[in-house]
Structure 1
Amino acid sequence: MQTFEQGAFDPDVVGGVPRPAEGEQGPGAYGDHDVERFVQEPPKSRLRTPFERDRARVVHSSAMRRLGAKTQVLTPGTDDFVRTRLTHSLEVAQIGREMGRALGCDPDVVDAACLTHDLGHPPFGHNGERALAAVADPIGGFEGNAQTLRLLTRLEPKVPGAGLNLTRASLDASVKYPWAFGAGPRRPDGTATGKFGVYPDDAPVFTWLRKGAPDGVRSMEAQVMDLADDIAYSVHDVEDAVVGGRLDLGLLESADERARVVAAVQVWYGAWHSADALEAALGRLRESGLLMTQFDGSRGALAHLKDLTSSLIGRFSGAAQAATREVYGPGALTRYSARLLVPEETQLEILALKGVAVAYVMAPREEEPLYQAQREIVADLVEVLAERAPVALEAPFAADWAEADDDAARLRVVVDQVASLTDVSALQWHARLVGR
């Protein structure tokens, strides 16, 4: 397999191609259209590029800080080792930045997109997301990715009326699902995907950031972010499960246990995934030696596990880079000049690893009283805050509530408030406002 060296980063060279001068366009270059902001800002020092400013705005945002107390897979505080949304986002950014740079994307655009990709997730992770989707169904639903766009363009305080006011390229890179609810691509079984990236009342800024983009197509930078997320999610969740004692990878030597993983993939990610292909993907990972069969918790075992996770990341990322370069050749592959090509075998191996985490961690917890209680907490908070608004809301959300035109808009403000909470603050608010 072809590999690519990633040497020292030169700020004036992107992917081996010199960075164009301001306003200059070329193959794969970023120009004035890409660095435009929704609200025009006074000229800034040229010591930093517009994309470096974008990344800095994300890093310093309050939404970024709150990710440190939001669930990734296991609840923060249950174990000192497990990842939170913040540590996961940092790892996604590291994977995405290197992959993007190797392909010629501006690394700060990819980095910013990776750091923002989970900002919209509510307390209790996907568990809380499901609860908010249910209560927000009458007003267009709730989706963590659409909430991310809302945070970046409206809720996060930096530029009044424009959120962080990121450049068009960085905002577009953060949009994993560039369509409204029900407007996305169809699944293999003909049903519509439940994922979407914009609420109806955020359509104006969405239209602006997608200017010139093909309908429903993600930018190259967004595709890199999405793959980096999948890689980190699949690899690190398995690592957390092994270290936390929830998973013995030696179980995958059993045909019955492998069948359990395959079934988990088909239930959670779609029955159209071939059982034989998933079984073959697990077989390739086992034969490669990348799934350790013994773990005793020692420092040596931890180091070995870390080497394996690094090798898996390199395997998946390298396969995508090689496949993409084989088709598009050298040069800077940016925005809509290329597609990220991920070999089918690599996609299946990533999916199989996700299935391992589902089978041994995520699916079993669904029936635990804790997770049912978390959904009730989220629903309770929406109900009580809607009754006591605006007094019970934080000042920025109280102002939004006062400016809302109707009950639907006021409910969206309450959902925004609850989604902003961390796991810890949601529990504290619930104890104070509901008392049970």
Structure 2
Amino acid sequence: MSTLPAGYSASDIERYVTEPPKSAARSPFERDRARIVHSSALRRLGAKTQVLGAGSGDFVRTRLTHTLEVAQVGRELGKSLGCDPDVVDTACLAHDLGHPPFGHNGERALDEVAKDIGGFEGNAQTLRLLTRLEPKSVHPDTGESVGLNLTRATLDASVKYPWRENATPTRPDGSATRKFGVYEDDRPVFDWLRGDAPERHISFEAQVMDLADDISYSVHDVEDSVVHNAVSLSVLRDPGQAREVAAHVRAWYGRGDEAELAAALDRLRAQDWWMDEYNGSHRALAALKDMTSQLIGRLAGTVTDATRAEYGDGPLTRHNAQLVIPSEIANEILILKGIAVHFLMAPREKKPAYKQQRQRLAALVMELAKRGADALEPHFAASYVDAADDAARLRVAVDQVASLTDKSAYDWHHRYCR
């Protein structure tokens, strides 16, 4: 029997389906991490879009390299905050597994085509993949797949939005978020993994994972924008440009005060390591990488210090603590996101190819749902045959398309939709 990691209970290391005892050489949480590392879903992220399309350049991030960077940031945060680093590391490795081809653009397309069967949400798809779609374990009584059969603590750490589609919380301004973490037919395992967790409360490890994700993509998307699109950060000296970035923050993320965002940009630009100009030289690239490192250290370190000041030393785990993110740091993360939106994401929205991606994914789902098992990969074909009705069969087609890489989505569309 494995020794319980500090701060965790016997309930935290339980699995949905009990497994025979194994060597104590590795903890249950280390086994969870290994299962993600060896999963086909993780490998596929190497050919999926992060922000810039996979294959658009040797420097830019794919969904996989982004995931590895999130895991590195998250693991260090977890260690410094007293939660098991393997739990956080695994949640970080898993956090984007449910994302479809073409990034958030593909997510929008699948959400539209699945609107009558509960929609599509990348985070809910991640839970579905971990607990059903990724082949590893089956239920001994029913023979149904239970996915990777991870521990309760690890699964809870992977659930960024612990609520159903029809139970989403409201934002401070009264609007509802579209984000949710579980489909209705995955409720049994969701209810099990949440156990006695407070309703809608995000576990501490999931909060750490979410922060690691925010830090990583806010900083690295700026880096990719500078290198790939030759964006000169010096244009932010213009107050008009800075206001446009703040406007994009509010439009895309639904929050942010213009004055506070402007102050956050001023604080960052005042740092010795901030880089206004980039000319592509080796020296410039080294300076840009240093800025990236400094930003990550600043954001992660300040949150760690603030959280430790609130809770003191010792393990901080599950539902026993709340991550403390000072408003200044939250605004610095937001303005970095806004820079990437302003220079990279918003202009991309107007390109015809971007709309074409959504059309192709939607058409492919409908064609696969019509053609049935013969057009699906074997494990999806078996689920299609077992499906009880048209809604369940459509969900199988969505699952199949969501699993594809960018290139295979194009290939499948060419094969079945022409």
Asked if structure 1 preserves the Cα contact closer than 8 Å seen for 2:256 and 2:334, the reply is no
Report the Cα offset of residue 246 of structure 1.
Answer: 4.3
**Amino acid of the residue matched to residue 136 of structure 1?**
A
Match among 417, 420, 425 for residue 400 of structure 2: 417
Report the Cα offset of residue 182 of structure 1.
Answer: 3.2
Aligned length: 412
Asked if structure 2 preserves the Cα contact closer than 8 Å seen for 1:182 and 1:194, the reply is no
User: C-alpha separation between the residues in 1 aligned to 2:351 and 2:172?
Assistant: 32
1:182-331 equivalences under 5 Å are 182-270=166-254, 272-331=255-314
Match among 150, 155, 159 for residue 166 of structure 1: 150
Asked if structure 1 preserves the Cα contact closer than 8 Å seen for 2:3 and 2:27, the reply is no
1:106 corresponds to? 84
Mean CA deviation greater in 216-225 or 246-255: 246-255
**Amino acid of the residue matched to residue 207 of structure 1?**
D
* Gap runs ≥5 in structure 2: 139-144
Asked if structure 1 preserves the Cα contact closer than 8 Å seen for 2:96 and 2:126, the reply is yes
Percent of residue pairs identical: 63
**Amino acid of the residue matched to residue 213 of structure 1?**
A
Mean CA deviation greater in 383-392 or 127-136: 383-392
1:364 aligns with 2:347: yes
1:336 aligns with 2:319: yes
Asked if structure 2 preserves the Cα contact closer than 8 Å seen for 1:418 and 1:426, the reply is yes
Change (3 A) 1:23 1:239: closer
TM-score, normalised on structure 2?
A: 0.97
1:43 corresponds to? 21
1:430 aligns with 2:409: no
Report the Cα offset of residue 132 of structure 1.
Answer: 0.2
User: C-alpha separation between the residues in 2 aligned to 1:289 and 1:267?
Assistant: 30
**Amino acid of the residue matched to residue 114 of structure 2?**
A
Which digits, 9 at most, give the CA deviation of each residue in 1:69-123, with x for residues without a partner? Answer: 0000000111110000000000000000000001111000000000000000000
1:155 aligns with 2:133: yes
User: C-alpha separation between the residues in 2 aligned to 1:112 and 1:23?
Assistant: 17
Asked if structure 2 preserves the Cα contact closer than 8 Å seen for 1:246 and 1:361, the reply is no
Report the Cα offset of residue 29 of structure 1.
Answer: 1.4
Higher helix content, 1 or 2: 2
**Amino acid of the residue matched to residue 16 of structure 2?**
F
Report the Cα offset of residue 234 of structure 1.
Answer: 0.2
2:57 corresponds to? 79
Report the Cα offset of residue 212 of structure 1.
Answer: 1.3
Asked if structure 1 preserves the Cα contact closer than 8 Å seen for 2:15 and 2:151, the reply is yes
Asked if structure 2 preserves the Cα contact closer than 8 Å seen for 1:397 and 1:417, the reply is yes
Report the Cα offset of residue 185 of structure 1.
Answer: 2.0
User: C-alpha separation between the residues in 1 aligned to 2:287 and 2:36?
Assistant: 34
User: C-alpha separation between the residues in 2 aligned to 1:182 and 1:348?
Assistant: 30
User: C-alpha separation between the residues in 2 aligned to 1:23 and 1:301?
Assistant: 47
Asked if structure 2 preserves the Cα contact closer than 8 Å seen for 1:249 and 1:291, the reply is no
User: C-alpha separation between the residues in 1 aligned to 2:221 and 2:318?
Assistant: 30
Report the Cα offset of residue 290 of structure 1.
Answer: 4.3
Report the Cα offset of residue 23 of structure 1.
Answer: 5.7
1:91 corresponds to? 69
Asked if structure 1 preserves the Cα contact closer than 8 Å seen for 2:2 and 2:27, the reply is no
TM-score, normalised on structure 1?
A: 0.93
User: C-alpha separation between the residues in 1 aligned to 2:329 and 2:340?
Assistant: 17
Which digits, 9 at most, give the CA deviation of each residue in 1:284-341, with x for residues without a partner? Answer: 1111244311111111111110010000000000111011011100111111111110
User: C-alpha separation between the residues in 2 aligned to 1:58 and 1:286?
Assistant: 38
1:382 corresponds to? 365
Asked if structure 2 preserves the Cα contact closer than 8 Å seen for 1:90 and 1:115, the reply is yes
User: C-alpha separation between the residues in 2 aligned to 1:252 and 1:59?
Assistant: 40
**Secondary structure of the structure 1 residue equivalent to 2:36:** helix
Mean CA deviation greater in 80-89 or 177-186: 177-186
**Secondary structure of the structure 1 residue equivalent to 2:379:** helix
1:22 aligns with 2:3: yes
Match among 346, 350, 358 for residue 329 of structure 2: 346
Asked if structure 1 preserves the Cα contact closer than 8 Å seen for 2:273 and 2:291, the reply is yes
User: C-alpha separation between the residues in 2 aligned to 1:175 and 1:257?
Assistant: 36
User: C-alpha separation between the residues in 2 aligned to 1:359 and 1:246?
Assistant: 14
User: C-alpha separation between the residues in 2 aligned to 1:50 and 1:259?
Assistant: 49
User: C-alpha separation between the residues in 2 aligned to 1:125 and 1:290?
Assistant: 31
User: C-alpha separation between the residues in 1 aligned to 2:193 and 2:32?
Assistant: 14
Asked if structure 2 preserves the Cα contact closer than 8 Å seen for 1:219 and 1:336, the reply is yes
Asked if structure 2 preserves the Cα contact closer than 8 Å seen for 1:176 and 1:218, the reply is yes
Which digits, 9 at most, give the CA deviation of each residue in 1:113-152, with x for residues without a partner? Answer: 0000000000000000000000000000000000000000
Asked if structure 1 preserves the Cα contact closer than 8 Å seen for 2:98 and 2:125, the reply is yes
